[in-house]
Every structure is written in C-alpha cells, then in structure tokens.
Amino acid sequence: MANTRKWLILPLTAVLACTAAGKDQKEKPKFTPGPASSYPTKQTISGVTVAAVPYRSDEETEPAFGKKNPNKSGVLPILVVIANETPQALALDNLKVELITPDRRRVDARPPGDLKYIYGPNRPSVYSGPIPTGRPHVGKKKNPLADWTIEGRAFTARMLPPKESANGFFYFQASYETGSTLYITGMREAASGKELFYFEVPLDKP
C-alpha cells in the first residue's frame, strides 16, 4: 500500500510542477512592437513608413531577449517596423539593410542564424605556451546568441500586403554610435517590380 501511494504521489508532483511552469510561461510579457508611426525614429515616403529603433540597454532588450542582452556579445539589434499604406503589395525578399556610422562606414546586417557561432568581445585568450596536442579546450559556457529569441525575433517578412505592417530585428556586429542611420534598399512594388526610393532612417531620437 505504501509503495502504491509513493507512485501516485510522484506523478502528481510532476503534474503540479508542469502546471506551475506553464503558468510562469504564460505570465511572461509578450513582445509586441508598436505601429511604425508611434516611433520618433522613422521616415515616410510615398505611403510607406519605416521605423528603426536600436536596442542597447538591458531595460530595452529584456522585453524581446530576456536577460541575454545581445550587445554584451558584440551584436546590436535594431527593430524595424514597416507600414504599407499604399494600395500596392510590397515585395521584401530583396531587402538590404545596412547600418551607417557617423564616418559613413557601412555595416551589413548579419544573418540571424549565423550569430550563434560568434562570441563578440568575449573571445578566448591566446595560448602562448608549447603547441598543445589533442583537441583544444573549449569552455562550456553557452553562447547567449544561440538563444531562440535571436532567430525568433528576426525580421522575416517576404511580402507586405496593402494596409498591413511587418516587424522584426536586424542584427549588426557593431557598437552603437551617436549619429548612426539605418539604410534600407530593395523594397519593390510586387506587381510591377518597381523599386521604391531608399530609406535612410536616423537612429537618434530627436
């Protein structure tokens, strides 16, 4: 009888633990960007509004990435929100996004799937002793950029219907500099293939 009670208690404990974990997961705030028009760092051309917001501090990045601030691994996430108020669908499959620094240096956005292979400024120290034999020692510390939120929050829209909006992050292996802008090209009218004018969005709040 005692053994029977033991086996009944263990599954019940597991169920309660799962229920509590599920409750905690549901209570976590959902990351929901605002409309493009709500951001001060935006540009509107011919009915298309592009907002671009750099996420730097822990306070800014936590709603999207939790406690793993990508900046601490050398990666600057920039939220892009595109609102299409035109009567034409927009093709975004050839979108090119660059970070332009105050000295006009251009930094291409990194594919989000590649970020889990870099460590930013936290590089291993150089070994200066005799050449070791066998496999090199690799630390067990997990790369914060391997977290699901990096790819899960990335900008992935390929098409933007009329009167709709799309949002997501682009990632740059760079530190933010005051006076930087986000340069976006390759946006086209889906029906005609006509490319829209480029967008150059200042990233500093006015």
CA-to-CA separations, 40 to 26, 50, 82, in angstroms, rounded: 31, 11, 14
Task: Say how far apart CA 199 and CA 186 lie, in whole Å.
Answer: 10
Q: What is the pLDDT of residue 17?
A: 44
* Cα–Cα distances in angstroms (integers) from residue 69 to residues 59, 78, 167, in the given order: 9, 12, 19
Q: Give the helix/strand (H/E) hosting 48.
A: strand 48-54
User: Which pLDDT score is estimated for 98?
Assistant: 98
Residue 35 has a pLDDT of 97
CA distance 72 to 145: 10
Residue ranges of the domains in the chain? 40-202
pLDDT at 25: 44
pLDDT tens, residue order, the chain (206 aa) = 545 444 444 444 444 444 444 444 444 558 999 999 999 999 999 999 999 999 999 999 999 999 999 999 999 999 999 999 999 999 999 999 999 999 999 999 999 999 998 864 444 333 333 444 444 444 456 788 999 999 999 999 999 999 999 999 999 999 999 999 999 999 999 999 999 999 999 999 88
What CATH fold (topology level) applies to the domain 40-202?
Immunoglobulin-like (2.60.40)
Question: Which one, of 155, 173, 179, lies nearest residue 116 by Cα?
Answer: 173
pLDDT of residue 1: 53
Q: Name the residue among 125, 128, 153 with its Cα closest to residue 65.
A: 153
Label residue 167 exposed, middle or buried (CB < 10 Å: 0-12, 13-18, 19+).
buried
CA distance 7 to 4: 5
Q: What is d(CA 61, CA 68) in angstroms, rounded to the nearest whole number?
A: 8
Among 167, 181, 184, residue whose Cα is nearest residue 97:
184
pLDDT of residue 30: 81
Closest CA to 166 of 46, 51, 65, 70: 51
Q: Put residue 147 in one of left, alpha, beta given phi > 0 → left and psi -120 to 50 → alpha.
A: beta
Cβ neighbours around 37 below 10 Å, total = 13
Q: Residue 70, exposed/middle/buried by CB under 10 A (0-12, 13-18, 19+)?
A: buried
